[in-house]
Amino acid sequence: MGLVKYIARRLIILIPELWIITIIVFTLIQLSPGTFLDQYRLDPSISRETLQAMEKQLGLDKPAVVQYFYWLGKLVRFDFGYSFYYRRPVADLIGERLLGTFVLSLYSFVISWIVGVVLGIVSALKKYTATDKILTVIAFSGLALPGFFLALVLLYMAARTGWFPIGGLYSPETAKMDVWSAFKDIFRRLQLPAFTLTFGSFAGLMRYQRGSLLDVMNEDYVEFARAKGMPERVVIYRHALRNAINPLITIFGASLADLLSGAVITETIFSWPGLGRLTYQALLQKDYYVVMASTVISTVLLVIGNLIGDILLAAVDPRIRYE
C-alpha cells in the first residue's frame, strides 16, 4: 500500500513539474531568433499579403501568451499540434519515429549497463593491476571522446571496410526479405549508432561502479565478515557488491536521459529514423510544435526513469521507506 501511495504522490508532483517545463520550453522557443516563415520572407515571389495569411493560418500572429495557452490546451488532450514544415499532425510524426529511438536507446541502455557494471566490478577487484589500468584508460577515453567524433570515425571506417551497413534503419531490400533476414539486417545496422551511444555511457557507469565497490570494501561490516572467516567470494558478492550497486540505481533515470540527448547527434550522423533526428530537423526549420513535443516527451521519460530508479532502490535497500 505504501508503494501505491508513493507512486501516486510522485505522479501528482509530476503535473506542476511538467507545467514548469512547458513554460521553459515555450519561452526558449519564443526567444530564439526568427520564425518558420523567415525562409519565405527571403523569397521575392511571395507577397506580403501571402505571408500575412500564412502567419494567421499558423497562429503566429497571436501574442505569445495566447499561443502558449492554445498549445497547452491541445497538449492536455494529447494533441501535440500541427507541424509547420511537414504539414502533418505532430503526433503522427513522433509515432513514426518513436520506435527507432526506442530500439536504439533500449539496446544501448542494456548493453551499457551490463558492460559498465561488470567491468567496474572487475576493475575494483583487480585494483592497481594491469587489468585495472587498461580498463581505466578505456573508461577515460570513453568519457573524453566526443560522441559526434566517434560517430564520424565509425562512419568513415564502415564506408571504407564495408563491415557494417550505414545509413538508416532499413535498406531498400528489407521489405523483400524474410523475417529472419530482415532482423539480421536491422541488427547489423543498429551496431554503429548503438556503439556510439554505449561507449560514453558505459565508461561513466564503470568508473562509478568501481569507486562505489572500493568504498564499500573498506566498510566495517565487510571487514567483520572477513574476520568471521567467510570466503572472499562470499564477502564480495553477498555483502559488498549488493550495497555497492545501490548508488547506481539512483542514476538510472539520468542515464536514460543522457542516451536520449545523445541520440540527437547520433541519429543525425547515421541517418537513423528516430525522434532525435526529427527534433534536430525541426530546430533547423523552426518547427516549434515538433520541438516542444519532443522536449516534453523526453522530460516525461526522464521523470519516469527517476521514479523507476527510486522504486528499485527502495526494493533492494530495506533501509529506504516510501515516505
Asked if residue 199 lies in contact with residue 111, where contact means CB atoms within 8 angstroms, the answer is no
Regarding pTM above 0.85, the answer is no
In contact, 267 and 101? CB cutoff 8 Å = yes
pLDDT at 63: 83
Between the alpha carbon of residue 116 and those of residues 113, 130, 215, the distances in Å are 5, 18, 17
Q: What is the CA radius of gyration of the chain?
A: 24
Are the CB atoms for 124 and 216 separated by under 8 Å?
Answer: no
Residue 14 belongs to a domain:
no
> Cα separation of 119 and 125, whole Å?
10
Per-residue b/e over 105-144, b at no fewer than 16 CB within 10 Å?
bebbbebbbebbbebbbebbbeeeeeebeebbebbeebee
Does a structural domain hold residue 43?
yes
> SS3 of 228, please?
coil
Examine the domain organization and report whether 246 and 116 are in the same domain.
yes
* The predicted structure's pLDDT at residue 318: 61
Q: How many domains does the chain have?
A: 2
Q: Is residue 237 part of a domain?
A: yes
Q: In this structure, is residue 303 part of a structural domain?
A: yes
Q: Are residues 178 and 112 in the same domain?
A: yes
Beta-carbon contacts of 285 under 8 Å, excluding residues fewer than 6 positions away, are 36, 39, 84, 85
Is there a domain that residue 173 lies in?
A: yes
Question: Which residues have C-beta within 8 Å of that of residue 115, sequence separation ≥ 6?
Answer: 198, 202, 206
Cα gap 206→195, rounded to integer Å: 16
Q: What is the structure's pLDDT at 119?
A: 92
Place of cell 520541438: 291
Residues 39, 149 within the same domain = no
CA atoms within 13 A on the CB side of 255: 27
Note whether 74 and 113 are same-domain residues. Answer: no
Same domain, 274 and 303: yes
Answer yes or no: do 62 and 163 share one domain: no
The answer to whether the CB of 36 falls within 8 A of the CB of 85 is yes
- What pLDDT does residue 175 have? 66
Cell numbers given for 247:
548508488
pLDDT of residue 60: 76
Task: Please say which residue of 33, 49, 79 terminates a domain.
Answer: 79
Are 282 and 186 in the same domain?
yes
Give the Cα-Cα-Cα angle 130, 248, 309 (nearest 5 degrees): 160
Q: Do 145 and 68 share a structural domain?
A: no
Domain closes at, from 35, 51, 79: 79
Inter-axis angle of helices 64-75 and 2-31, to 10 degrees?
Answer: 150
- Per-residue confidence of the chain (323 residues) as pLDDT tens digits? 566 777 777 778 878 888 888 888 888 888 877 777 776 777 677 777 777 787 777 777 788 888 888 888 888 888 888 888 888 888 888 888 888 888 888 888 889 889 998 999 899 888 889 999 999 999 998 888 888 888 888 888 888 887 887 777 777 676 677 777 878 888 888 888 889 888 888 888 898 889 888 888 888 887 777 788 888 778 887 778 877 877 777 777 667 666 666 578 888 888 888 888 888 888 888 888 888 888 888 777 777 777 777 777 766 666 665 55
Residue 133 placed within a domain: yes
The answer to whether 179 and 87 have CB atoms below 8 angstroms apart is no
Q: How much is the pLDDT for 105?
A: 84
Q: Which structural domain range is residue 130 located in?
A: 98-316
Is 73 in the same domain as 104? Answer: no
Please tell me the distance from the alpha carbon of residue 289 to that of residue 158, in angstroms, as a whole number: 36
For the beta carbon of residue 173, count every other beta carbon within 10 angstroms.
10
Give 1's DSSP letter: -
